[in-house]
Amino acid sequence: MVEKNGLSEFEEKVVIVTGAARGVGKATALKFSKHGANLVIVDVLEKELNEVGQIIREKGKKVLPMKADVSDNRQVQYVVKKTLDDFRKIDVLVNNAAIAGPSGPVINLAEKDWDDIFRINLKSMFLFCKNVVPVMINNKKGNIVNLASIAGKEGNENLGAYSASKAGVMCLSRVLAKEVAMYGIRVNSIAPALINTAMPASVPKEIIDKLLTKIPLGRMGEPEEVANLILFLSSEKSSFITGQCFNITGGRGDY
């Protein structure tokens, strides 16, 4: 990571990470704190979220754990207000919160499950971007990284709503990147394949086994590997990159 005067460029930066109680969100929050950032971590899993907060505090960094429904605009607005009350700025937003939902053919998918998946996976990103971007415009800089999925590019059978929601994440990120570039704000997305988190554990083993056969490296990725890419896209090392979606898939996917 880029160093300035012996300190990480993230020293005292303020970073919001959603879905931070476990998996990629947890790994990302810990990685940013290791590089000097102050964290606002958001999740509905209060116990696990507070445990992540305690780890960060023990390392001597400031952290604000906030239990919130990321798809509720009032709660998102409160998260942003509390962040500004405590830290006065927002430098980086990582939209990571997501659910896989039930597996099965599209024709068997309940309308409520479709709505829930889009509410958590896509609407939440819209709400956080809508509320955070004006803060970044005032600062004349900022970085947003949205977590999509290779499923949004290729489509995973029996995970239709999840795949469609992640395609939406990529498109939203591209559009927003064009709209805010003039303000010095960069927006990118990431498309992981299978990552070793709780989410694959909620998907039937036969689907996971099939998806693993599509990965040339022959394994799941680790949350820390995704966190490394998020840090890169939030850093000055990627200062001329915006509006892009980066695969992190062990070789799966060709665009």
The enclosing domain of 105 has a CATH number of 3.40.50.720
Task: Determine the average pLDDT of the residues in 121-138.
Answer: 98
Residue 12 has pLDDT above 70, yes or no: yes
Residue 7 has pLDDT above 70, yes or no: no
**How far is CA 229 from its chain centroid?**
11
* Length of the chain in terms of residues written: 255
Task: Determine the average pLDDT of the residues in 130-145.
Answer: 98
- Structural domains of the chain, count: 1
Residue-number span of the structural domain to which 111 is assigned: 3-248
Instruction: State residue 1's pLDDT score.
Output: 47
Residue 21 covered by a domain: yes
Instruction: State residue 131's pLDDT score.
Output: 98
Residue 118 covered by a domain: yes
Q: How confident is the model at residue 205 (pLDDT cuts 50, 70, 90)?
A: confident
Residue 104 covered by a domain: yes
Known catalytic membership, residue 183: no
Q: At how many degrees (to 10) do helices 23-34 and 223-233 cross?
A: 50
Task: Determine the average pLDDT of the residues in 100-125.
Answer: 97
Instruction: State residue 56's pLDDT score.
Output: 97
d(CA 88, CA 63): 14
Residue 253 covered by a domain: no
- Mean pLDDT of the chain, nearest integer: 94
Residue 85 covered by a domain: yes
Residue 56 covered by a domain: yes
Residue 255 covered by a domain: no
| pLDDT > 90 fraction of the chain, expressed in percent and rounded | 82
H or E element: which one contains 5? none
Task: Determine the average pLDDT of the residues in 11-40.
Answer: 97
Q: Which residue has the higher pLDDT, 218 or 223?
A: 223
158: left (phi over 0), alpha (psi -120 to 50) or beta: left
Of these residues, 78, 162, 183, 255, which one is catalytic? Answer: 162
Contact assessment for residue 125 and residue 133, using Cβ atoms and an 8 Å cutoff = no
Instruction: State residue 249's pLDDT score.
Output: 85
Residue 229 has pLDDT above 80, yes or no: yes
d(CA 144, CA 151): 21
DSSP state of 182: G
Task: Determine the average pLDDT of the residues in 30-37.
Answer: 96
Residue 254 covered by a domain: no
